[in-house]
Amino acid sequence: MAKLPDPDFRPLVRWFWYAVVGGPLFLILLLLLTWAGLFGSLPSTEEIANPKSYLATEIITSDNRQLGTFFTENRVHADFSELPPHLVQALIATEDERFYNHGGIDFRSLARAVTALGRDGGGSTITQQLAKQMFHEPSGGLGRIFQKLKEWIIAMQLESRYSKDELIAMYFNQFDFLYQGVGIHNAANVYFRKTPDELTIEESAMLVGMCKNPWLYNPARAGREESALKRRNTVLNQMERSGFLTEEAADSLKAIPIALEFTPGGHDKGLAPYLREHIRQFMKEWVTTHRKPDGSEYNLYTDGLKIYTTIDSRMQRAAEEAMEQHLTQLQKAFFKQIKGRAAGPFYFQGGSSVAGANQILTKAMKQTQRWQNLRSEGLSEEAATAAFKKPVEMKIFAWGGDRDTLLSPWDSIKYMKSIYQAGLLSVEPQTGFIKAWVGGVDFRHFKYDAVRQGRRQVGSTFKPFVYAAAIADKKYSPCMQVPNIQTCIEAGQYGLAETWCPSNSDDKYGGVLTLKQALAGSVNTVTTYLMKQIGPAPVVQLARNLGVTSDIPVVPSIALGTVDLSIFELVGAYTAFGNQGLYTEPIVILRIEDANGVVLDEFSPASREVFSPEVAYTMVNLLQGVTQGGTGARLRYAGGGYPDGVATGFPYSFDMPIAGKTGTTQNNSDGWFVGMVPNLVTGVWAGCQDRSAHFGSTAYGQGASTSLPIWALYMRRLYADPKIGVRRDGFDAPSTPMTIPLNCGDFLSDQAEAREEGSEFN
């Protein structure tokens, strides 16, 4: 049998050494060619040293929470020191176990990825992933190979310029977690309402798990909850495998369900959207008058400014929740009351209600873009109106979430004008710091800010200014008695063209009332009596000194609150009662810093003494009577409610000192309540967008029914959290002895003795 020739392995050996030596050389050649730009441009050395990153301007609360951002890309920078160790460990364990041992390329992981064809994970390091995020758009096919080469080069350059900790921070700051959660700072806020350093281990694991695919493993997406949970637990397993967690700790954490406090970012979402819009308008002016060191203008959306505010996020959330809780029930009552009315929510004195309603709706219709489009298409007014009254599919506002419905645009206007609106402002009187600002019920649907832009008739909430002016001038005591009879101010007096004789709202007269009783019951005759004693000019001047800038006619009728003021003006004016007669202008912005923490501007409130501490304390005493036995006494009730159970949340049963004043305007168009405790003044307004839309009965429409419950529900939330620091004790008395009697028993006894002796006594 012929002997077979020995196999010649020399070609195989030759090719083996070609691969061993030539492969790396070929790879090096490809890298050099890539570095030279043959396969496309690379970022410059300057770009790598100073990567371009748009930073959002951040609004920060007094309790160090992010209230909102202004952004082109919603990114807020977080330093490595702000990242909890377990967040960094989760990333390293999951994405790059040898991160601290390579220079940007992990060849062991790369070899594993090639031999396993990616089944056991990719070979990209954290630095390579960062390079991809920062400098390259995704590509496929052959382009992906060249892109990978570029990532290697950029990764090595990044490694040569930045420390490992800096690279970790850059990675977390660069990653987009969706829902405007760009970067870990915003992601922590969007998904958990936290700052990065407050994240728990399982929360950190969830966010790191999203880094593989933020869309696929996003627990905020319907149907992805289970995938997100499994991915989070995979991260926890990796942390155990890498020695960052014990088996017991990992098992315990995997048993915890994902608990989100999901607050998607956006200019019209999240806390305090009306306030954020107010700040945005302010900043648009501010950037025109404040320049960078190089003379260029700051960009509100990309320069990462920090706006520090006086707002307390806990109080802001409590205010918004209280408003929603009450108005949800109030709206049901309103819809029930106007159901079947041809005029819908509109009421008129004299004339046809239907005709008046049609006039309002027609005017509103012609202001819409839909109407303009119909007319531009050549339709006549009649045809356009007919088209406007045809039902179409639309989404409308509803408490609990927008509702899809079939409704004509005409009826949708009537519906939206039937929605009860409200506004709330809460101010610390001693500092002027605004703690909560709720400009409306839903910023997406109702852009008008009731706190600052809106001006509505204030009704009886203006009466304390008449009382304060009279007490400051005449030293009247709250115990002074005034006959409850119709009082007239004659024609010619204070410029009146004809005699003015206002009536009490209940048309009840007789007997005598102390000033405290009269203000508590909001009795018009006594307020008119005080106006007759001093005239309107001192009242107007007092209001001006208290920060009111709206037009106030110098006429006696202002005594009953016929003027239109904003919530901002009214609450600001009331702060002087709770601050020893010192008016402190409400402010919301404390300082503005640049992205590096350099202070660019600081703000402090203007302050001035308007009346003495004695007058202020006397007014507090009077206003306490409102909640002790007057129109605000339902705050003290241990039971009860409004008609048809509108006032959910009863009983309130407040037993702490509270001063306040209700206000209800003609036809119940506007309801007000301003409530005061020693270190907080809060004003609430409620009413419909159009003044002709309102409740048909005072039982529902008065301020004690529409606004006071919002204040009460808000305060209950504040008192439930002692850390907020709302005081329960009494109001601060003047440091000097009082000369105005407040004890009515002693005062009336002394007055009786004086009368017996024939002397005058006020």
At 420, give phi and psi (nearest 5°): -70, 130
**Cα gap 333→486, rounded to integer Å:** 35
- Sign of torsion, CA 329 326 318 656? negative
**Interval 699-749: pLDDT, tens:** 899 999 999 999 999 999 999 999 999 999 999 999 999 999 998 875 555
User: Tell me, what's the pLDDT at 267?
Assistant: 65
Cα of first residue to Cα of last residue in the chain, in angstroms, is 144
**Cα gap 394→756, rounded to integer Å:** 76
**Cα gap 357→287, rounded to integer Å:** 45
User: Tell me, what's the pLDDT at 758?
Assistant: 46
The two beta strands, 306-309 and 57-60, are parallel
DSSP 489: B
Task: Please state, in angstroms and as integers, the Cα–Cα distance from residue 48 to each residue in 52, 525, 577, 603, 705, following that order.
Answer: 9, 77, 59, 38, 62
Rounded (10°) CA dihedral 210, 212, 213, 219: -20
Provide CATH 3.40.710.10 ranges for the chain.
Answer: 421-745
The two beta strands, 659-664 and 306-309, are unpaired
Neighbour count for residue 5 (Cβ, 10 Å): 6
DSSP 716: H
At 225, give phi and psi (nearest 5°): -60, -45
| 75, 54 contact by CB (below 8 A) | yes
List b or e across 591-622, with b for residues whose CB sees 16 or more CB atoms inside 10 angstroms: ebbbbeeeeeeeeebeeeebbbbbbbbbbbbb
The two beta strands, 589-593 and 512-514, are unpaired
From its phi and psi, is residue 295 left (phi > 0), alpha (psi between -120 and 50) or beta? left
Residue (of 325, 575, 546) closest to 426 by Cα position: 575
Provide CATH 1.10.3810.10 ranges for the chain.
Answer: 76-264
| 412, 344 contact by CB (below 8 A) | no
Residue with tokens 């501010």: 286
Which uninterrupted H or E stretch holds 353? helix 353-365
DSSP state string for 346-404: B--SSS-HHHHHHHHHHHHHTTSHHHHHHHHTT--HHHHHHHHTS-EEEEE--TTS-EE
User: Tell me, what's the pLDDT at 618?
Assistant: 97
The superfamily (CATH) of domain 421-745 is DD-peptidase/beta-lactamase superfamily (3.40.710.10)
- The stretches in the chain having pLDDT less than 70 are 1-52, 104, 106-123, 135-150, 152, 265-268, 351, 638-651, 746-762
Structure-block tokens of residue 292: 């960078």
| 571, 510 contact by CB (below 8 A) | no
3-state secondary structure 403-447: EEEEECHHHHHHHHCCCEEEEEEEEECCCCEEEEEECCCCCCCCC
Structure-block tokens of residue 432: 């002027």
- Sign of torsion, CA 176 182 188 192? negative
Which uninterrupted H or E stretch holds 715? helix 708-719
Q: What's the maximum distance between 2 C-alpha atoms anywhere in the chain?
A: 156
Neighbour count for residue 63 (Cβ, 10 Å): 13
**Cα gap 435→680, rounded to integer Å:** 9
User: Tell me, what's the pLDDT at 116?
Assistant: 47
- Sign of torsion, CA 501 505 508 511? negative
**Interval 96-127: pLDDT, tens:** 888 888 876 766 655 554 454 444 555 688 88
Residue with tokens 């493993």: 217
Q: Which residues are CB-neighbours of 406 under 8 A, at least 6 positions away?
A: 391, 392, 393, 394
Domain 76-264 belongs to what architecture? Orthogonal Bundle (1.10)
